Amino acid sequence: MRVHVADHPLIAQKVTVLRDERTPSPQFRQLTAELVSLLTYEATRGIRTEKISVTTPVGPADGVALSHPRPLIVPILRAGLGMLQGITDLLPTAEVGFLGIKRDEETLEPHTYANRLPDDLTGRQVYIIDPMLATGGTLIDSIAYVLERGALEVICICLIGAPEGVAAVEAAVGDANVTIVLGSLDSHLNEKGYIVPGLGDAGDRLFGTAN
C-alpha cells in the first residue's frame, strides 16, 4: 500500500478553512469540491491511458485518451457524496457506483446498508472517496469488497486521515495495489473515534444533522 499526503499550499489553505467551525455548509461544500479536484489531480497520476492522435487546425498531434474499462468512482454514503462533484469535474467519463456504510456509534464497527456496484470489476481502477479516514473500518471493508470483485487497483481519496486509520488499512491490505491520498494526516483519534483536530462530523458539516 502507498500513502500520499498532499504537500501543496492551496490544499493546506482549503483544509484550514474546512476545519474552522465557523465555516457554513454552503462554503464547506464548495471548498470540499475544490479540494477534491486538487486531490484528484494527485490521485490520478497513474490513471491508465492509451495513445490516440487528433488533427489540430494545423496538423496531426499525438495525444492520449483514458483507457477502457473506464475508471469507477465509489463514494461511501453519505459523506462521500459531498466529494463526488470535485472528482467528476476532472473525470467526467468515469462511472459511479455507491456503497452505504455506517459506523455503529457504540462499537465503531462499520455496517453495510446499501450497495450499487457492478459484480465484476475486473481490470478496473477504482477511486473510493470518503472524507475522513478515522478508524479505517469503512475503508477496509470497501477496499476488500472491490478487490474481491477483481479491481486492478484501488485509490482512496480522503480529506483528512488519522495515523491509527492509515495503520489499520495498511495492516489489512498488505501489499495489495492500494494507494491512499490524503489532504492532511492529523494527530490522532479521540475516544469517540473522531479525528483530532480534524473538522468534526464531515457528513453533518456537508449536509446538516439529518440522518
Is there a catalytic annotation at residue 93?
A: no
Site residues (vs ligand URA, CB under 6 A): 79, 132, 134, 193-195, 198, 201-203
Catalytic choice (16, 49, 93, 107): 107
Minimum distance of ligand URA from residue 77's CB (angstroms): 13
Q: Would you state the cell numbers that stand for residue 177, as one nine-digit string?
A: 495495489
Minimum distance of ligand URA from residue 194's CB (angstroms): 4
Catalytic choice (19, 29, 48, 103): 103
Is there a catalytic annotation at residue 70?
A: no
Is the distance from CB of 35 to CB of 160 less than 8 angstroms?
no
- For residue 51, CA distances in Å to 21, 61, 148, 176 come to 47, 11, 30, 28
Strands annotated E in the chain: 2-5, 49-55, 60-66, 72-77, 95-96, 98-103, 110-116, 125-129, 132-133, 153-161, 178-185, 188-189, 195-196
Q: Would you state the cell numbers that stand for residue 178, as one nine-digit string?
A: 492500494
Nearer to ligand URA, 132 or 181 (CB): 132
Minimum distance of ligand URA from residue 172's CB (angstroms): 17
Nearer to ligand URA, 79 or 166 (CB): 79
Catalytic choice (48, 112, 141, 201): 201
**Whole-angstrom Cα distance, residue 131 to residue 134?**
9
Minimum distance of ligand URA from residue 156's CB (angstroms): 14
Is there a catalytic annotation at residue 7?
A: no
With vertex at residue 18, the alpha carbon angle to CA 40 and CA 80, rounded to the nearest 5 degrees, is 50
Is the distance from CB of 114 to CB of 85 less than 8 angstroms?
no
Nearer to ligand URA, 118 or 193 (CB): 193
Catalytic choice (29, 70, 149, 204): 204
Is there a catalytic annotation at residue 141?
A: no
Nearer to ligand URA, 141 or 201 (CB): 201
Catalytic site residues?
Answer: 103, 107, 201, 204
